[in-house]
Amino acid sequence: TVPGNVPSYAAAAVRQGAANGSGRLTVSVYLAGSNPSGLAKLVRDLYDKRSPSYHKFLTFAQFRTAYAPAAADVSAVKSFLGAKGLKVTYVPSNGAYVDATGSVAQAAAAFGVTQSLYSYQGRLLRANAEAPTIPSSLAGKVLFVGGLDDSELLLTPSNTGREGKQAPPGQGYSTPGPCSTNAGDVTGTVTPAANQYGATIPWLPCGYTPQQVRVAYGLQADWNKPPSPLTGAGVRVGITDAFASPTIQQDLDAYSAHYGLPKTTIEQHVTPGVYNFPENRFDPQGWYGEESLDVDAVHSIAPEATLVFAGGNNSNAPLDHALIDMIDNHRADII
């Protein structure tokens, strides 16, 4: 069995029945690597100024040689998942984990667990009540099996407000009018008066153009003058997001044409499952505006850079996987 793999709410909550066996999921089997205790010590020493290893970082090749899982162990995990009817979709070159997709019923059978729904904190959450089982040949080589429960739905934003209130969601990606073209040139009156600013408050500034942003960061002397040679030419800039907007290239083309920026093609690396599960509880559509905003902003400040976009198939662990893939394969110079 794999320890530490049963969420606490599966024991404390009230079971509401079996989960939908035909539902789709992605499981991520994380491997321990060849020397986990040595890796833990390395990480401590890298940031301990008293250690002779302080800031002596490893190359990718050095890391894989010393700490990556054995290729045979990765192959064994892939074979195990495939034999259970799950489709292996991705393995990073460092072998840190194996992603596979399938139905809830297939995952339950593969790991010898139940998949039930539990009522907990006002939510209906899927979970396994038993520790997942793996072949004895993989004992000690698998750290964790992700995707067998809905624990990520319990994550909430950190609250630092003095009154204990959560901040409300934003209102989309447009600034409602009127707006200020210069600081404070359009104002509004509020009742009661705001503590810090009084009753008269400057209206939000209008959106800045790419040229104005470049001037603000010292990349142009004036938006009517030619830009500096610092255009990002020859540099690969990586952008990671959950999901991948199907209109991201068209959005960038329209933005570039509107503001007179050079047209460029985005290099996309999308993890399996992004387009196969278009509707799910993680709200991929809600991320699309953010993704286009990120790409447009980078193109504004570095109009001749190569844009490399990596999208995960949800906003939890696979988002990290998209980042790991970009680093592991050195797809970009800066992220």
**pLDDT tens figures, 49-58:** 999 999 999 9
In total, the chain counts a number of residues equal to 335
Residue 44 is predicted with a pLDDT of 96
| pLDDT at 167 exceeding the cut of 50 | no
How far CA 263 is from CA of 151, 259, 260, 307, in Å, comes to 42, 11, 9, 11
Query: Is 190 or 146 the better-scoring residue by pLDDT?
Result: 146
Task: Report the amino acid identity of residue 298.
Answer: V
Percent of the chain at pLDDT > 70 equals: 87
Distance of CA 197 to the CA centre of its chain: 37
| pLDDT at 90 exceeding the cut of 80 | yes
Query: Is 287 or 316 the better-scoring residue by pLDDT?
Result: 287
Residue burial 136-170, b: 16+ Cβ < 10 Å; e: rest: eebeebbbbbbbbbbbebeeeeeeeeeeeeeeeee
Q: Give me the long-range contacts of 130-135 (CB less than 8 A, separation at least 24).
A: 130/6, 131/1, 131/2, 131/3, 131/5, 131/6, 132/1, 132/2, 132/5, 133/1, 133/2, 134/1, 134/2, 134/80, 135/76, 135/80
Give the mean pLDDT of 156-162. 48
pTM of the model: 0.68
Tell me the β-bridge partners of 30: 97, 144
Rounded distance between C-alpha atoms, residue 146 and residue 281, angstroms? 17
| pLDDT at 166 exceeding the cut of 90 | no
Percent of the chain at pLDDT > 90 equals: 52
Rounded distance between C-alpha atoms, residue 47 and residue 56, angstroms? 9
Question: 204-254, pLDDT tens digit by residue?
Answer: 777 788 988 888 888 877 767 766 788 899 999 999 998 888 889 999 999
Round the average pLDDT of the chain to a whole number and report it.
Answer: 86
Rounded distance between C-alpha atoms, residue 91 and residue 100, angstroms? 9
